[in-house]
Structure 1
Amino acid sequence: MTRPLIIGLTGSIGMGKSTVADMFERAGVPVFDADAEVRRMQGPGGELLSAIEAAFPGSTGPDGVKREALGAIVFSDKDKLKQLEAIVHPAVASKRMEFMIEHGGAPMVVFDIPLLFEGGGQSQVDTVVVVSAPPEVQRKRVLARHGMTEEKFADILNLQMPDSEKRDLADHVIDTGTTLAETESAVRALVEKLKKIREASS
């Protein structure tokens, strides 16, 4: 295998995926965060602003995309959502390609993709890591977020594949219902395991 092993990292809201992504980075594995790229490209001076404004007038301003205004336009209209995705997805794919070129010599890389299974992204990675925690831990974390309500939480869960199904589809599961030290130890053990698998197949 001449290119890096591609790890797809995913998990439902409140499961600790961002924390685990940071742990992969601390273990020396480069991480591509698709959501962070989108936020940057839609932020102040972002390269997607002109295309989004042209398609959805009034949805951007000096601070970038007006998330609530754009959300109100696209989330109730599937055609408009597809129109937005046609602007965003190719740009993210381009950034991902740049990332792969930059880190082409690394043994492995992580693609941090929140809706990996929901979007069929598992076909684009070599192995899938699902971040999971008990439902009560997830609930406590999410409801502690600013502006979160029971209703919003329920709506988000309805859009996401159930955690149990993600675990069944995963190649590896990282449990974040334990201490941070235990979770980080599990991540580092997985990195070493995957390195050995990659070495054996190359």
Structure 2
Amino acid sequence: MKTYLSIGITGGIGSGKSYVCRIIEAMGYPVFYSDQEAKNITNSHPKAIEQITILFGKEAYIDQALNSPFIAEQVFNDPNLRLKLNEIVHPLVRDKYFEWAESSGAKLVFNEAAILFETGAYKQYDKMCLIVAPKQMRIDRVKKRSGLSEEQILERMSSQWTDEQKIPLADFVINNDEKSPLLPQINKMIQQLK
């Protein structure tokens, strides 16, 4: 029998999901970072490596590590390839999350992941939290941390659902616009979850 509440934390690129999750962690709640786990899996899981190599060819890996720039270029130009890559990686990440959540011993566990609504994975969580921020602010944040051009960022944004599409599916919406203090919003969510 499940003894914990599973909360998905999601939001568009640059919305500040990881920042919100670090605050939740500092408050003493365990957070599973799906993107980090996906990197581990694509670099070390034999089944994932085999399937990704079949899908993208030998160029997919350089020195036994995923050739991320090559893969990113392929999937952002071909939604079908992106879908196939997600079908390889996401189930493995999800299995790892639920295994981790079970062994955490915590009553509330959080999973930070970018496209929970887009993939339909949000249905596997007890509650969903959406992090939102103004578009230009998100673009500026991503530019600062990634070195991507505005065009590349907009391209990535266009592959994700808009906040307007996601808000009706979210149980909690946290506004990370640098005007609305985050802590009271996070506290309110946690109190309601308890």
Shorter-normalised TM range: 0.7 to 0.9
Q: Which residue of 2 aligns with 1:60?
A: 61
Report the equivalent of 1:102: 103
Counterpart amino acid of residue 192 in structure 1? Q
Match of 1:36 in 2: 36
| CA gap 1:166/1:2 in 2 versus in 1, 3 angstroms | same
Q: Percent identity?
A: 30
SS in 2 for 1:58: helix
**CA distance in 1 between partners of 2:91 and 2:2 (Å):** 25
Cα deviation 1:40-77 (Å, max 9, x = unaligned) = 2234xx22464133552231122510112233445545
- What does residue 199 of structure 1 align with? none
The 1:26/1:147 distance shift into structure 2, 3 A limit, reads same
Shift of 1:187: 1.1
Structure 1 unaligned residues grouped into runs of 5+: 196-202
CA shift, 1:12, in A, is 0.9
Q: Which amino acid aligns with 1:106?
A: A
Query: TM-score, length-normalised on structure 2?
Result: 0.84
Q: Secondary structure at the match of 2:100?
A: helix
**TM-score scaled to structure 1, two decimals?**
0.81
Higher helix share: 2
2:31–2:110 CA contact under 8 A, matched in 1: yes
Give 1:1-202 correspondences, 5 Å limit: 2-43=2-43, 46-48=44-46, 50-51=49-50, 52-55=52-55, 56-62=57-63, 64-77=65-78, 80-103=81-104, 105-178=105-178, 182-195=181-194
Bigger Rg, which one: 1
Q: How many residues align?
A: 191
**Local SS of the residue matching 1:144:** helix
CA distance in 1, matches of 2:171, 2:88: 32
| Whole-angstrom CA distance in 1 between matches of 2:14 and 2:35 | 15
Amino acid at match of 1:47: H
Q: Measured at CA, do residues 173 and 50 of structure 1 come closer, stay the same or move farther in structure 2, by a change above 3 Å?
A: closer
Partners of 1:81 and 1:19 lie apart in 2 by 26
Change in 2 beyond 3 A, CA 1:110/1:68: same
Q: For 1:7, what is the secondary structure of its paired residue?
A: strand
Structural RMSD (CA): 2.5
Q: Is the 8 A contact 2:132 2:173 kept in 1?
A: yes
The AA in structure 2 aligned to 1:151 is E
Shift of residue 184, structure 1, vs aligned partner: 2.4
